[in-house]
Amino acid sequence: MRPELILQSPLWYVLICVFGAFIFAIFTYYKEKNFKNLHRIILAVARGILSFLIGFLLLGPMVKYVSQLILKPKVLILVDTSKSMNALGNQAFVELKNNLKALSDFIADNDFDFEIKSLGSDKINSNFENITLNLNHTNLSEAFSDIKNNYEGQNLSDVILVSDGIINQGVSPSFQKYPFNIHTIGYGDTTTRKDLLINGIAANKIAYLGNRFLVNVDLSSFLLKGKSTSIFLKNGQGKVLQTKNLNIAKNDDFQTVSFEVQADKEGKQRFIIEAQPIAGEHSIKNNTKDFLIDVVNGKEKILLVAYAPHPDLKAIKSIIEKNDLFEIKIEILQSLETGQIGKEPFDLLILHQLPDVSGSNTPILNSLMALKKPTLFFVGSRSNISAFNGMQNVAAINAQINKIDKVSGMVNNGFNRFKLPENADDLIGKLPPINSPFGEYKVFPGAEIVLFQKFSGINTQRPLLAYNGSTEKKSAVFLGEGLWQWRLEEFSLDNRQFVVDDIIIKTLQLLTVKEDKSKLRVYPISDRFDSDQKIVFEAEAYNNIFERIYNQNISLSINSDNGTTKNFNFTNTEEMSRFELSNLPSGLYSYSASAEILGKKEVSSGQFMVSNSDLETINTKADFDLLKTLSNENNGDFVYYKNAIELRNSLKNKGLINKVISNEEMKDLINIKWILFLLIVIASFEWAFRKYLGGY
């Protein structure tokens, strides 16, 4: 640390302290005739120094400490541990690990920090020996985004990716620049083999009862020119519904086959696409793929009525249109005749900055509110707060006219009406402040807060997003203006718009869902699981006033679409309200749970699907072009795994620079302990020396 004295007063104040201390010292000892001149000078100097220090400290000087922390460069070796990396066999994998060991030894010998991580894991490996290739998917873009966030503030200089370049989840990592060099080591089989595979299936997740929906199947084939086969569409029981012929015209072929299917049964329906194997295929595991369609009986219609055009309207529209269960219509009062608003039937009402400050739209608002539809209010600078307070049962604001606060959001961890995304708390805290009415807030009985307001970094209990479903008409309020800014910022932070959209969509679903008065609710945490995943059920039990109760004996029956049944029994506790099972074969399952609660049998039922989707078997041909592009765009180099040690030259030439972090700390001089000790020593010396000379 290098201390630096900082004065908060003009320099001539210090000169006054010097002059005052000099005069005081001379005045004290000038007339002392009992002491020798040398003794008087020593005492006067001590008195002058003591007086100056006391006066100087009263000016409030500060000491600035500047410290420097030197961070050595860090190298991260990221190993793709997906199953497709097994293509070269055990001997090649042992050679890869030996080459990586030699590279890591070079990094360590040059006094640089390095870490070893496996794809899909946050665990830091101590060596390469315990790395196994068993991951069922490859998502490189997510891995690099996690590295970017987790190593922020550290001197991460270079990332070395060991991969075959095959990705089957997320987007290509080459679409984004990263704040570190990326070197790639190619490992995998680039040989093209005879194969027919299903690349993907494009179909709406939701279909409407009685309608026909389109299913597009993308198929790729290699080295099968002149061959033909059949593509089958089957139901969940394996019955063939439709058949299409596929003629392969060239060795590297891509075609799309379409099926048109009738949605004739309500509920979740499982379908299977199967390509008949062709002789000589390298793998037939990628010839079959299943998908799930949720057949529902009609959309929820949303009417959005706004006072005036606003960027938030586009944001709200974009969010709602992402969900196939909703259909939105927007009406802007300043742009049209209001007589026809609300004439067409709707299920949910959104009012944006209504009621408005002018009060001119009161008649149309009264007619809309009289329909007693669930309503979501967006409050902004043009909202009439007084009229708003009387229109809903969620929150009231004692606001001052034309005064706003800049507030951020904060997740209410006690809200459990719906599950928020895992990273919601962290992401919401990073979003920019939005405008919210300034005043005193009151939450009505029965209302539940989803998001709190955060003002200037201070957590408050004021609601930003809240919901009340305890009355006849459900209502929710978003007490802020600037939703569009949140969506833009989330995209810049996370390359997607998910968390904000998910919160708004689930709030709308909460408003439109028919209230479940059952005292037993058992449901899977997802409607679709992979065959290697655990199937997790959440169990909730309630008493007569709908408070959570525990230690209930619950029976669970799971029925597959082929007629087999499995029965389970478990007890929900306050510590563990979930039930897990595994090793279910692929298929569509229905379940029924029952329990005796307060002397009455309660039942809960539903559906879920288990899919045997091994993404790593779809494509096993290594893609070194992607790895080369990723390195070229991020100041790195590509090498084949046999030449991994060659990256040592790249590490020397393109990175590995120490990072210096400076830290400044300000401290009042008067608070430094040794200053007090110095004053006591000087005063004690003067007093003791004067006593020694016979003075008083």
User: In total, how many domains does the chain have?
Assistant: 5
Q: What is the pLDDT of residue 696?
A: 64
Query: In which residue ranges of the chain is pLDDT below 50?
Result: none
Q: Is residue 247 part of a domain?
A: yes
589 and 563 within one domain: yes
The beta-strand segments (E) located in 498-585 are 520-524, 528-530, 535-542, 548-549, 552-560, 565-572, 578-581
Please tell me the predicted confidence (pLDDT) of residue 337: 65
Torsion angle of C-alpha atoms 236, 238, 242, 245, degrees rounded to 10: 130
- DSSP letter for 130, please: T
Instruction: Report residue 348 CA to chain centroid gap.
Output: 29
Q: Which of 512, 539, 565 is the last residue of a domain?
A: 512
CB 207 within 8 Å of CB 213: yes
Q: Tell me: do 41 and 134 sit in the same domain.
A: no
Nearest CA to 163 out of 631, 533, 614 is that of: 631
For residue 374, the model assigns a pLDDT of 93
Helix/strand number for the chain, H first, E second: 13, 35
- The pLDDT, as a whole number, for residue 657 is 66
C-alpha span between 407 and 464 (Å, rounded): 9
Exposure string over 531-546, b if 16+ CB within 10 A, otherwise e: beeebebebbbbeeee
Structural domain harbouring 586: 520-611
Question: Residue 317's pLDDT is what?
Answer: 94
CA distance 24 to 19: 9
Long-range contacts of 516-519 (CB under 8 A, 24+ apart): 518/602, 518/603, 518/604, 519/543, 519/544, 519/546, 519/597, 519/598, 519/600, 519/602
Backbone φ and ψ of 372, nearest 5°? 55, 40
The verdict on 418 and 530 lying in the same domain is no
Do both 275 and 348 map to the same domain?
A: no
Domain presence at residue 616: no
One domain, residues 138 and 182: yes
Domain co-membership, 606 together with 625: no
Q: In what order do the strands lie in the sheet with 659-668?
A: 2-6, 62-71, 659-668
Q: Does 199 lie in the same domain as 187?
A: no
Write down which residue in 482, 512, 542 finishes a domain.
512
In a domain, 267, yes or no: yes
User: Is residue 308 located within the same domain as residue 436?
Assistant: yes
Residue 316 CA to residue 321 CA, distance in Å, equals 9
Last residue of a domain, one of 593, 611, 629: 611
Q: How many CA atoms lie within 13 A of 271 on its CB side?
A: 28
Give the CATH number for residue 312: 3.40.50.880
Give the tens place of pLDDT for each residue, 309-332.
999 999 999 999 988 888 899 988
**Residue 439 domain flag:** yes
Are 113 and 172 in the same domain?
yes
85 lies in a domain?
yes
Contacts (Cβ under 8 Å, ≥6 apart) of 258: 214, 215, 216, 217, 244
Per-residue model confidence as pLDDT tens digits over 101-113: 888 888 888 777 8
